Amino acid sequence: MGQSNRKWHRSIFFRLIVAFAVAMLPIYLLAGFLYQWGTSMLRNDIVESAETQSTNYVNELENTFKRFSTMQYETLNDDMLIRLMGAYDVLEPYRRIELINSIRSKLFSMKNSSDLIADVRIYLSGIGIQISAVDGYGELKQDHLSLNLIRSPYQVIFERNTLLMVAYPLENESAGMPDLIVEIELREREIRQNLQSALGREYTGAIDLRLSDERHIIVVQKPELRKWIDSHETSLETANGHGTVDIAAEGNDYIRVRSALTETGVFIDQYLYKKSMFHKVTKHIQWFWLFFVVAFIAVAFFLFYINRAINKPLVKIVRAFRHVEEGNFDFTIRHDTDDEFGYMYVRYNEMLVRLKALIDEVYNQQLQRQNAELKQLQSQINPHFLYNCLFSITRLIKMDKFDEAIRFTDQLARYFRFITRSTRDTVPLEQEVDHARNYVMLQLTRFSDRVSVSFEDVPDRLKPIGVPRLILQPLVENAFVHGLENVDEGGLLRVSFRARPEGAIISVEDNGEDAERQLTRMNEVLQEADNPQEVTAILNIHRRLLFMFGTGSGLQFERSELGGVKVSMMIKWNGGESIVPDVNRR
């Protein structure tokens, strides 16, 4: 009994339980502190977020007003406006109307430059007219002009129950009412909607935007705040800069967050409702503690049961699989209980026996299959192609084109040397492409007057990549035989290469006829990928790519932009890029 207890106390599981209990104690003690700390962090995050949003909004609004001021200044110096003021009485009526329409067109463009602008007006008191982007041209309305209108040039003011921005030549500021005034009327409703959209949150009680000394734009979600803001309006206007203040309004606690521009006096106050800010945290804290207690008890029982019923048997079988990973197929295991682990242990032992037999069998079969498919592809030399090549040589000799005949014969020899060499199944992509390019040159002897070829260079990164031999030339051959054979003129063959971080795409496309039938035929071939009875060249290539590069690799068929068939060879780097030596080196 004593020995058993000593072993229990030395066990990992016992130490795990002790560690769990020790870990839980400080967690209980720290839970209260963490709750307070988390609440404070949440408050700071929300306040910082509100400050950032307010500052960004104020800066954006200030930049918008500066842009409006720039447009006003440009309008004051507009050539057509100056010409109209200087020669209004001597201008022909049609010329006068032409200038006014041009000026109004510019005003209309200013109005449409922002949703915040309701209208743009020009007051020409010297000649008694005014021009509006909305109302057009008319006599000057004297009730629109007052000295209050020019008290703050290029700033937002509140006049005639409207937010305005007024500009006039500052050199005439001391001479009373200027002869020229450019006025922009702002949409207060649009500003209010933008303010609500940009800053409104579920915990926002109110938003107060001050654009001028006379006008606040207040968006209220908590009605009791309106009364508090109105009663503290004077103290709010004297506050400057950024900062936060805790306030109480009608028994509710709020945090006021201010973002201000001291040079213009524009500021935004956000009133954040504390109860809404911490509502979710407060609501779930009790459930958290209850869950904590229940979880502690459940985990303790669960650990004990898991250790006996699952952990120990699982450790044993994991250890057994590690032996298999190391190549030891003689390590057997047994389980005394007739349960799922007992069944797994028996099947594991049986699996080892079968696995040792299957490894040799499957490996040898796969190796033989790969060699057989390569031999089959090598043997699928089109007799018609060979006959055409020999006929071309004969024709060149009869025409006394001996140099061309020698060059053609050398190309044909290199073609057969590549497809008959069987020392290696894998070659660098650069050599595979050279072989396909050589095949194209042979075919152009027949097709040069009716087929043109666009054969891209292989990207340097892809040249040394190892690929199965004879995967590109059969695709080019398929394009000639099935796509371009009957083309009388204007045939086009294009071979392109695209390097990707995860692999490469090699495309062969043509503008041959009967593309739909060809696509149907090729897709049917791929659907027979599991049929061992007959292996075509297309299916052979697809299988070899899939076997060498894994899932995601192989052939895909689609309609080409050229009008014919596009065959895309997909190569994925499963396990890394493979670089092979030159196949012709000895």
Per-residue pLDDT reduced to its tens digit, 74-91: 988 888 888 888 888 888
pLDDT of residue 533: 44
Which residue, 449, 445, 378, 448, is CA-closest to 415? 378
Average pLDDT over residues 502-511: 90
- Tell me the pairing of strands 451-455 and 491-500: parallel
Through-space distance between the first and last CA atoms of the chain, rounded to whole angstroms: 75
> 10 Å Cβ neighbour count for 439?
23
pLDDT of residue 316: 77
Q: Residue 152 above 60 pLDDT?
A: yes
Q: Residue 545 above 80 pLDDT?
A: yes
Q: Residue 8 above 60 pLDDT?
A: no
pLDDT band of 278, cuts 50, 70, 90: low
Bridge partners of 371, per DSSP, are: none
Per-residue pLDDT reduced to its tens digit, 38-70: 777 777 787 888 788 888 888 888 888 889 889
* Run of H or E residues at 215: strand 215-220
Least confident of 374-378, 422-426, 461-465: 374-378
The type of residue at 574 is N
Three-state DSSP state, 30: helix
Average pLDDT over residues 170-198: 81
Q: Residue 495 above 90 pLDDT?
A: yes
Instruction: Provide the mean pLDDT of the chain.
Output: 77
pTM of the predicted protein model? 0.45
pLDDT band of 508, cuts 50, 70, 90: very high
DSSP string, 464-522: TBEEESSSSHHHHHHIIIIIITT--S-EEEEEEEEEETTEEEEEEEE--S-HHHHHHHH
More confident of the two residues 574 and 68: 68
The type of residue at 283 is K
In the structure encoding, which two tokens stand for residue 496, read together?
């392109």
Average pLDDT over residues 499-516: 87
272: left (phi over 0), alpha (psi -120 to 50) or beta: beta
Per-residue pLDDT reduced to its tens digit, 324-355: 777 777 777 777 777 777 778 788 787 877 77
pLDDT of residue 506: 93
> 10 Å Cβ neighbour count for 472?
23
**Domains, the chain:** 77-186 (no CATH), 380-572 (3.30.565.10)
More confident of the two residues 256 and 530: 256
Average pLDDT over residues 372-382: 50
pLDDT of residue 196: 81
